Amino acid sequence: MASLKIDVRTAAIGSPDLVTFFVKGSTPPTGVPPEEFDGAPNSTVLLRDRNHRTLVVGVGEKNKIEADTVRRAAGTAIRQLLKVGSSEVALNLADFAGHAGAAVEGAILASYKFEGFGKDTSKKTRGVLGRLQVLVPEADLAQARTQAREAEIVATIANKMRDIGNLPGNLLNPAILAEKAEELAQNRSLTVKIWNEHHLKRDGFGGILAVGQGSSHPPRLIVLEYRGGAKKDAPVALVGKAITFDTGGISIKPGAQMDEMKWDKMGGLAVLGIMLAAAELKLPLNLVGLIPSAENMPGPDAYRPGDIITTRDGKTIEVLNTDAEGRIILADAIAHARLTYKPSVIVEYSTLTGAVIMALGFQRAGMFTAEEKLREAFIAAGKATGELVWPLPIGEEYKEGVSSEIATVKNIGGREGSACISASFLKTWAEEVPFVHFDIAGTAWTTKPPAHLEGGATGFGIRLTIQALRAGLPV
Ligand code: BES
Ligand code: ZN
Ligand code: ZN
């Protein structure tokens, strides 16, 4: 990724292309007839004089403008300008200095593009954002600079996770993911431990091993620790599913869109991103991130329907469908978090079920928790960051769905309520520890991106969680 220089200033220097934010109902800029542009959110008009461009972007009605309105508008504007070849842009935030962080975030997220592999780019004029100026009134400079710096850290890390996320299964397997995590954690105040297949066997991680045994690329468990809080404070544990490719295994998936299962690792990358960002922001708390990673393949050694697996804490799973693999590797990781770290809360991210997409579509992630205060905290963080979540139930009433005659639980229930049944399956391993499960199957990647984003991995969960952690998780 090309490097981007960001300045927060009172007036532009050089000759950047200018973005102005237009409130519905105000006087249109000179040269724009009111019937052609009313300032609806993310509508744009491009004005040119000589070699200078001004892009006017709508932010809608004044009383409805929130951080995410500005974030999206900034992103939409940057993408428009990059399309016509801009490389230096100034965002005029004269009236929106309080949203400087959101604007910078929007700009950085919008400028992300997966480089791809040897595709023909010769016909594209697309620019690369090299310099971004953020213009605010003098009185707002200090606050806007702090916001911009923090937004830059989080959005840059989110883009890095999108970049790793977009790697296909042949270029990213569990061992490579573990190496990347080690590399990225270096020079930051994070420690990393990697369990390979021998360590996993020694320590009883029967779930991760079972799911990974069909692949010639063996599984890993990646554990990162960050200590920014008091020694005595229990950590927040973050757990993320990183299936580097999900074929379904012996219960193999249909062919259509199976390629999208290269993104079945995005829960794990959310956790990696949160850990990296928390360390760089020096958040005053303790965190542990656990990322179980495997490739789910059919093959002579693959696990099978009917198999019985013993997980890290001795609980057993009757496998009835090898495509419900995420919950099996997560069971091990959640148990390990509980037993080893005595966390105050376990927050878990996974592209777990197609069912959550039926319930919520691609607009919101499903949030499953019995903890009312945590639920409120994440709803608020979602609103602030634009990474929207919606509560779904995880109660005892769903446990019956996975009760097994011969093991602690079976790994599938019926089709009805399957996102909730899956959530209650996971909660079995958290036991009494407060637990939050995010099913990000609908939000972790997009094949129909909105105007302010590139398609592919979204990095969902990173900005949401950093926001919630900074606001202070009620645990
Ligand atoms: N990774 C999939 C879930 C998924 C499906 C995410 C589609 C995004 C889009 C997961 O491992 C899976 O296959 N789940 C099954 C569970 C079923 C077998 C109980 C599902 O949702 O169909
Ligand atoms: Zn699956
Ligand atoms: Zn999966």
- Digit-coded pLDDT (tens) for 80-118: 999 999 999 999 999 999 999 999 999 999 999 998 898
| 296 Cα: distance to centroid of ligand 2 (angstroms) | 8
d(CA 87, CA 100): 20
Find the catalytic residue in 113, 327, 338, 410. 327
The ligand whose atoms approach the alpha carbon of 297 most closely is 2
**Is 154 within 8 Å of 462 (Cβ atoms)?**
yes
**Tens digit of each residue's pLDDT (9 = 90 or more) over 44-72:** 999 998 778 999 999 999 999 999 999 99
Q: At what angle do helices 266-281 and 462-471 cross, to 10 degrees?
A: 40
Ligand 1 neighbourhood includes 354 CB (under 6 angstroms): yes
CA 334/CA 348 separation, integer angstroms: 8
One-letter-per-residue 3-state SS of 367-408:
EEECCHHHHHHHHHHHHHHCCCEEEECCCHHHHHHHCCCCCC
Going from the C-alpha of 215 to that of each of 169, 228, 243, the distances in angstroms are 12, 38, 12
Q: Which candidate, 432, 284, 435, places its Cα nearest to that of 345?
A: 435
Q: Which of 353, 356, 412 to probe ligand 1 with, by most ligand atoms within 8 A of CB? A: 353
Name the closest ligand to CA 243. Answer: 3
The residue whose C-alpha atom lies closest to atom 17 belonging to ligand 1 is: 324
Q: From the CB of 328, is ligand 1 less than 6 Å away?
A: no
446 Cβ closer than 6 Å to some ligand 1 atom: no
Q: Which of 253, 375, 383, 399 is catalytic?
A: 253
Q: Confidence band (pLDDT; 50, 70, 90) for 123?
A: low
Output the pLDDT for position 35: 87
- Taking the CA of residue 321 as reference, the ligand 1 atom at the shortest distance is 18
Residue with tokens 């390629």: 259
Yes or no: say if 17 and 55 are a contact pair by the CB < 8 Å rule. Answer: yes
What would the mean pLDDT of 379-399 be, rounded to a whole number? 97
- How many angstroms separate the Cα of 233 from the Cα of each of 207, 305, 475? 30, 42, 11
The whole-number pLDDT of residue 454 equals 95
Tell me how far apart the alpha carbons of residues 233 and 239 are, in angstroms, rounded to a whole number. 19
Mean pLDDT of the chain: 96
Q: In angstroms, what is the span from residue 324 Cα to ligand 2's centroid?
A: 5
pLDDT of residue 87: 95
Asked if residue 352 has pLDDT above 70, the reply is yes
Residue of 265, 319, 323 to test ligand 1 pocket, by largest number of atoms within 8 Å of CB: 323
Please tell me the distance between residue 353's alpha carbon and the centre of ligand 2 in angstroms.
8
Which atom from ligand 1 is nearest to the alpha carbon of 251? 18
Q: Closest ligand 1 atom to the C-alpha of 243?
A: 1
pLDDT at 57: 97
Residue 355 Cβ inside 6 Å of ligand 1? The answer reads: yes
Is it the case that residue 422 has pLDDT exceeding 90? yes
Based on the number of CB atoms within 10 Å of its own CB, is 41 exposed (0-12), middle (13-18) or buried (19 or more)? Answer: middle
Q: What 8-state DSSP symbol labels residue 25?
A: T
Label residue 60 left, alpha or beta by phi (over 0 means left) and psi (-120 to 50 means alpha): left
Is the pTM above the cut of 0.85?
Answer: yes
The DSSP symbol for 252 reads P
Give yes or no for residue 412 CB within 6 A of ligand 1.
yes
What are the Cα distances from residue 462, in Å, to 96, 157, 242?
A: 24, 9, 15
Torsion angle of the four alpha carbons 275, 279, 285, 286, in this order, in degrees rounded to the nearest 10? 50
What pLDDT, on a 0 to 100 scale, did the predictor assign at position 122? Answer: 66
Residue 213 CA to ligand 3 centre (angstroms): 15
Determine the distance separating the centroid of ligand 2 and the alpha carbon of 326, expressed in angstroms.
6
327 is catalytic: yes
DSSP classification of residue 34? G
For the chain, percent of residues with pLDDT exceeding 70: 99
Whole-angstrom distance, CA of residue 155 vs CA of residue 162: 10
Maximum Cα–Cα distance across the chain: 76
Please give the torsion angle defined by the CA atoms of residues 393, 370, 366 and 222, in that order, rounded to the nearest 10 degrees.
-130
| Stretch 74-79: mean pLDDT | 98
Q: Which pLDDT band, with edges at 50, 70 and 90, does 430 fall under? A: very high
- pLDDT single digits (tens) 201-242: 999 999 999 999 999 999 999 999 999 999 999 999 999 999
Q: Is 50 a catalytic residue?
A: no
| 353 touches ligand 1 (CB under 6 Å) | yes
Name the pairing type of β-strands 191-195 and 236-240. unpaired
Q: Is the CB of 105 under 6 A from ligand 1?
A: no
pLDDT at 36: 87
At residue 289, the pLDDT reads 99
Q: Per-residue pLDDT averaged across 335-360, rounded?
A: 98
Helix boundaries (H) for 248-387: 266-281, 326-341, 355-360, 372-385
In angstroms, rounded to a whole number, what is the distance separating the alpha carbons of residues 242 and 157? 17
pLDDT at residue 28, as a whole number: 84
* pLDDT band at residue 406 using 50, 70 and 90 as cut-offs: very high
What pLDDT, on the 0 to 100 scale, is given for residue 2? 62
Find, among 299, 298, 347, 300, the residue nearest to 325 by Cα.
Answer: 298
- DSSP secondary structure, 71-106, as one string: HHHHHHHHHHHHHTT--EEEEE-TT-GGGHHHHHHH
352 C-alpha vs ligand 3 centroid, how far in Å?
A: 6
pLDDT value of residue 132: 98
Check if 321 has its Cβ closer than 6 Å to any atom of ligand 1: yes
Among protein residues, the one with the nearest Cα to ligand 1's atom 6 is 441
The amino acid at residue 379 is I
**Ligand 1 contact, 323 CB (< 6 A):** yes
Tell the residue nearest (CA) to atom 3 of ligand 1: 353
Residues 240-292: pLDDT tens digits?
Answer: 999 999 999 999 999 999 999 999 999 999 999 999 999 999 999 999 999 99
| pLDDT at residue 32, as a whole number | 86
Q: How many of the other CB atoms lie within 10 Å of CB of 48?
A: 12
402 C-beta closer than 6 A to ligand 1: no
